[in-house]
Amino acid sequence: MVVRMRRNRSETAKRRSHHALTPVQAAKCECGAARLSHRACPECGKYKGRVVIDVVARAKRDARRAKRREKELKASGQITESKQEKEPTSQA
């Protein structure tokens, strides 16, 4: 680094004074779950008191996809037993 480019501690601190992150603002849904504001609730799928996401259908679809993915991995031999990996309580 060239001496001309060197920044002292004060200048570095001044630049970094704008680097702070703000915590996420969690709002409470009418179903009682915490959700992000201006986002649909992942628990009940409601936004502004109106259902916008079919959570039951989505859960079914996700389960079906996970099952299929697991089946494919087993067929290709990338995993042998998935249930033992998912449960960390077996060691403790």
Site for Zn ion, rule CB under 5 A: 29, 31, 33, 41, 43-44
DSSP-assigned beta bridge partners for residue 50: 47
Contact between 21 and 14 under an 8 Å Cβ cutoff? The reply is no
Pair 43, 29: CB distance under 8 Å:
yes
We find the least distance from the C-beta atom of residue 81 to Zn ion, in angstroms, to be 35
- Least separation, in Å, of the C-beta of 52 and Zn ion? 11
Helix (H, G, I), strand (E, B) or coil at 17: coil
Residue 74: strand pairing partners:
none
Q: From the CB of 66, what's the least distance to Zn ion, in Å?
A: 23
Compare residues 52 and 66 and give the one whose CB is closer to Zn ion: 52
Nearer to Zn ion, 31 or 36 (CB): 31
